[in-house]
Structure 1
Amino acid sequence: MTSLRIDHILSKTRGDRWIWIIVIMLSVISMMAVYSSIGTLAYTRGVGAESILVKHMFMIVGGIALMYISHKLDYRYYAGISKLLMVITIPLLVYTLFFGSHINGASRWVAIPGTGLSFQTSDLAKLALITYLARLLSRKQENIKDVKQSFVPIMGSVCLVFALIGPANLSTGLMLFGVSILLLIMGRISVKQIAVVCAAGAVLLAGMLTFGGRKGTHSSRMETFLHPERADPDKVFQSNHAKIAIASGGLFGKGPGRSTERNYLPEAFSDEIFAIIVEEYGVFGGLFVMGIYIFLLYRCIRIVTKAPKAFGALLAAGLSFSLTIQAFANMAVAVGLGPVTGVPLPLVSMGGTSILFTSVAFGIILSVSRHIDENTEAAGKKVVVGEIMEVAA
């Protein structure tokens, strides 16, 4: 009976089945790791860990529902939706920069009226910019070298979003800028024009680091990363305990729920969740999680190479690059290969609305994959019908 229900559910989903499996695996890992790491958070809030886990599970279920809806929509509709997203995103980013909620000295969040929830506008900006760039690049292929018609609007959208995200969320802004450059390369933008975009980005970055409201935070984090021996103990507290968690995990880990560093690590359930995973499941557990994201990138690249239209290929490429780059940035910070940032591990960290936006990105990738499968099935049916007609003749 159970197998029949699973088959019925799978029959309603299309697209790359491996990506569906990856999402389910990451969701299960997320629930286990989050439940293990929210003890301190629950104590601080004066609630049970189970209540926080239930809310997290609701977000995961909601994310899977959004992913299902997104994958049912023909990916070509996202070209039109991207314009609306940009119209919504730019004012929201401006509002967030000046009037957003301040946490840890950064204005990144906007409250959703009547829900008690808040979200990072940079999560919406990632979806908006990547879909919009894919639309521009695919529609302007015939005159892609034209500076006025093609290059100026493309460069303007990239630099504008970067300039609005960077002051409060530099790490996310830099990752999104890097993904945009990869899309420009795939979209056949000339090397000279890409160099101009990079130069403009460098000027914006220099301005943020020199005059931005968080310039002290950025320089302090970089100085702490490069010279931890000279840093204030409070500033290396998070990175040191992440390293302790990873080192104490060994090859096979301490076992589920047996982490000790979860009681010391700030944001153990979010930014540093990879360190908790390695502490409890060992190096092999960490490599397994890393392998999932590498396999995700591989499956997405297969979708990109099979996509019949430029828009679908660029859309799948941009979203997959964004997800995997974010994942490896999070893991790099946990193991000490990068300065501390506020980047969560996609679909694993407890992140509220960020899970929903990530799920929509997965859904769009699956929509492109679904279109490829449907075209392949249609082509196969035509071949079969043709062979039948030949035999009948």
Structure 2
Amino acid sequence: MQKILERIKGDKVIWSVVLLLSLISLMAVYSSTGSLAYRMDKNASYYLIKQLSVIAVGLLIIYGVHKVNYTKFARIAVMLYVISLPLLLYTLFFGAKINEGSRWIKLPVVNVTFQSSDLAKLALFLFLARMLSIKQGSIKDLRKGFIPVLVPVFLTCALIAPANLSTALMLGATCCILFFIGRVQVKHIMLLAVAGIIGVVLLFTVSKITGFGRAATWEQRISDFAGGSKKDGSVKGGKKESVYQVLQAKIAIANGGVFGLGPGHSRQRDYLPEAYSDFIFSSIIEEYGLVGATALVFLYLLFLWRSILIFKRCPYAFGAFLAVGLSMTLVFQAMLNMAVNVHLVPVTGLTLPMVSMGGSSIWFTSIAIGIVLSVSRYVDENEGRKKAASEKTEKTATETTEEEETLTTDKNEAPALA
């Protein structure tokens, strides 16, 4: 065990957070998949074993990626980004449709599906970190600095938005924060935000007119979110105050109270759709209460804080932007998923990173975490080398001083000996 721990490098707090999130995932998925296993005629432990296998592979991915020097990712960033664009285009027109959206690519022979948007997110932040580090000298110039880093964000979000608007909006918002950290002028970021709003309006209009895209779904979700009950308790238009999914999530949260019903004692898991995926946070609140929910939020914020410390300590811009960009998108996604569960924002298709049941999504998240830990490992080793060099210099200086003092003493004592 000691030898294994010695081989694991990088921020130990981030490693601890990842392991705790993995444990929470196993407990929550096992508790919330009972009815799913029954419907699919599976053993009660089937999805637990499946999730355990996925997480085990994810941890191996994190370990393997964190052993790679992060500077090597700069070399493949452009290639990976170029590959992601045609994959997004293919997914948009020919992807497997799940929940009314073309978001998945199905690999033949192995019969495995994955979201091309997950690959695109990773590729985009690798590419942006590389471009921002290169363009630091001219980043405040609109034409020479900002436009070259803006174009890839625009292309990626434009290709993701028709099938997965929530992911596109999340990416755009995260990129704006990364641009601010990367010293882009605020007025340019504001222009980007305005352009994004105009783009969403145009996309909705075109989708509404042509029928291509998910305008009807977006409109329904916003309508369901805004059409709640009135102050007097009546229900607007005689309809339910929210969609069935959100209503069941509210019941689960109310059942949880402060300390929850206890592990495996959820009452709504058989009624709440996607209790093991999009709405797993509601299941966690029901079983572990406000205390458990607060602990989970704390873990994600702790991960972000440690990544920010890595950003501040990293001597090179590429590694710093990598650490903060990848961690922000992961934590931002987690906060949006939690906001959906407690009905603060309309329903989206975003999962809870490293907790929701999944396969490829967990593995792509694992790659991102591995890259953050790779940057952390380099920072630790670099600081270790500097510390060792400094101690060596101090030791040499001390020995030289002692030798000079000895020689001086010998000279002073020489006449007396004579």
Task: Calculate the TM-score normalised by the size of structure 1.
Answer: 0.96
Q: What corresponds to 2:257 in structure 1?
A: 250
Match of 1:161 in 2: 156
Larger Rg: 2
Per-residue Cα deviation, 1:142-171 (whole angstroms, up to 9, x for no partner): 122343433222111111111011111111
Specify the alignment match of 1:76 in structure 2. 71
1:179 maps to what in 2? Answer: 174
Q: Give the equivalent residue in structure 2 for 1:228.
A: 228
Report if aligned partners of 1:129, 1:161 keep a CA contact under 8 Å in 2: yes
The percentage of aligned residue pairs carrying the same residue is 47
Letter matched to residue 250 of structure 1: G
Question: What is the CA distance between 1:262 and its match in structure 2?
Answer: 0.6
Q: Does 1:36 align with 2:36?
A: no
> 2:289 matched to which residue of 1?
282
Moved more, 353-362 or 235-244: 235-244
What is the match of residue 385 of structure 2? 378
Distance 1:84 1:49 in 2: 43
Are the aligned partners of 2:37 and 2:47 in contact in 1 as well (CA < 8 Å)? yes
Larger displacement relative to structure 2 (238-247 or 179-188): 179-188
SS in 2 for 1:118: strand
TM-superposition CA deviations, 1:238-264 (whole Å, max 9, x none): 001001001011111111111111101
**Do the aligned partners of 2:228 and 2:241 also contact (CA within 8 Å) in 1?**
no
Moved more, 307-316 or 92-101: 307-316
Q: Does 1:45 align with 2:52?
A: no
Secondary structure at the residue paired with 1:62?
helix
In 2, Cα distance between the equivalents of 1:179 and 1:355? 20
Give the number of aligned pairs. Answer: 388
The answer for the alignment partner of 1:260 in structure 2 is 267
Are 2:245 and 1:238 aligned?
Answer: yes
Aligned to 2:307: 300
Structure 2 residue 32 is the aligned partner of structure 1 residue 26: no
State the shift of 1:114 in Å: 2.1
Q: 1:351 aligns with which of 354, 358, 379?
A: 358
Matched, 1:15 2:10: yes
**Which of 104, 111, 115 lines up with 1:116 in the alignment?**
111
Deviation, 1:193, is 2.1
Please state how far the C-alpha of 1:134 moved relative to its aligned partner.
0.8
What is the CA distance between 1:234 and its match in structure 2? 10
Mean alpha-carbon deviation: is it higher for 28-37 or for 185-194? 185-194
Q: C-alpha offsets along residues 352-385 of structure 1, whole Å, 9 cap, x if unaligned?
A: 1100001111101101111110011001110111
- When structure 1 is superposed on structure 2, of 182-191 and 367-376 the one drifting more is 182-191
1:126 is matched by which residue type in structure 2?
K
Superposition RMSD in Å: 1.4
Look up the SS of the partner of 1:140 in the other structure.
helix
TM-score by length of 2: 0.90
Aligned-pair distance for 1:228?
2.8
Aligned counterpart in structure 1 of residue 201 of structure 2, from 194, 197, 206: 206
Structure 1 unaligned spans of 5+: none
In 1, the alpha carbon distance for the partners of 2:327 and 2:302 equals 11
Residue-by-residue CA offset, 1:327-359 (whole Å, 9 max, x unaligned): 111111111111111111110000111000011
Q: Take 2:383 and 2:297, find their aligned partners in 1: how far apart are those partners? A: 31
